Amino acid sequence: MAFSVSDTVNNAQSDLTKLVADLRGLLSSKDLDSIPEIHALRQRLDDGVSHARESAVHAAQEAARQAKEAAYVADRYAHDEPWRVAGAALAVGTLIGFLLARR
């Protein structure tokens, strides 16, 4: 089972959201409302989650851009050098066949 970058980012974001929800639940006690440090901690927590979300989205976008660029380069190479690509595929296929036949 292969995970894509977006799956990994979504899982990390989901875990982070759950963690923040748990922390906010702990900090939301009415008894703590009178403590100014708790309000500041809540604000820092919200800011941190927002920043982490933005970073995750940026990382996923950058990974997608790099994957598209690599696919484009591979496509160009395959069109420019079709016999080399065919030869390499033949060599890899032969090696895999040889290894499987030895079993």
Per-residue pLDDT tens digits for 57-93: 888 889 899 999 999 998 998 899 899 889 999 999 9
Q: How many CA atoms lie within 13 A of 81 on its CB side?
A: 8
Cβ atoms 27, 38 nearer than 8 A: yes
Helix (H) or strand (E) holding 43: helix 36-80
Rounded Cα gap, residues 41 and 50, in angstroms: 14
pLDDT value at position 4?
67
- With 60 as the cut, is the pLDDT of residue 98 above it? yes
Cα 63 to Cα 51, 56, 57, 69, distances in angstroms: 18, 11, 10, 10
